[in-house]
């Protein structure tokens, strides 16, 4: 279990935000297939659930046992929210196949709380981090040939 899983399970929204801003992934899974969203839903941490959905976590992700975050939700409010988001995700997939309007995950909130989270996020300076992270070039691979002994290179040459 990673730090983001633990923070989601214990209800630490600020820690989750910090971990994501430091490069943590909402897509990380445990050996059993649990995502941070599973842990937040299981612990009935509705604010974290909304935040993770806003950050693009898959609401349709299932564990190895076949459980979705809505299946493990600890209360009805969280379960209803996640089921609504799953329905929006299904509609978005159908719409993408038909090349029509795309439904964003944050539109599954019927209370306007996601707007509050967006405002808090922009105050923290976290707006658009996902795009920034994906646009950064990957680090080049480091050559490790200097670690090879001279005996190794001589043995390779003899084999040829």
**The predicted structure's pLDDT at residue 9:** 94
Domain that includes residue 115, residue range? 3-159
User: Token digits for 155?
Assistant: 């043995």
pLDDT digits (tens, 9 = 90+) for 72-119: 998 999 999 999 998 888 887 777 766 544 445 555 644 445 445 444
**The predicted structure's pLDDT at residue 127:** 47
Dist CA 20 CA 63 (whole Å): 22
Element of type H or E holding 81: helix 76-98
**The predicted structure's pLDDT at residue 34:** 94
CATH number for the domain harbouring residue 87: 1.25.40.20
The strand ranges marked E within 51-154 are: none
| Whether the predicted model's global pTM rises above the 0.85 cut | no
Split into its structural domains, the chain has a count of 1
pLDDT digits (tens, 9 = 90+) for 37-51: 999 999 999 999 999
Alpha helices, H only, 110-160: 113-124, 129-135, 150-159
């Amino acid at each position: 279990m990673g730090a983001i899983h633990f923070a989601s399970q214990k209800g630490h929204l600020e820690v989750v935000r910090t971990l994501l801003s430091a490069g943590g992934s909402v897509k990380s899974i445990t050996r059993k297939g649990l995502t941070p969203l599973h842990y937040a839903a299981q612990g009935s941490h509705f604010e974290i659930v909304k935040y993770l959905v806003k950050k693009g976590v898959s609401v349709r992700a299932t564990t190895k046992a076949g459980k979705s975050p809505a299946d493990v939700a600890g209360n009805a409010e969280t379960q209803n929210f996640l089921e609504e988001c799953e329905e929006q995700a299904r509609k978005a997939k159908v719409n993408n196949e038909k090349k029509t309007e795309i439904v964003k995950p944050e539109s599954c909130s019927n209370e306007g709380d996601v707007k509050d989270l967006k405002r808090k996020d922009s105050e923290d300076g976290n707006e658009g981090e996902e795009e920034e992270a994906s646009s950064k070039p990957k680090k080049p691979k480091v050559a490790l040939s200097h670690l090879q002994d001279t005996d190794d290179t001589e043995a390779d040459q003899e084999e040829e």
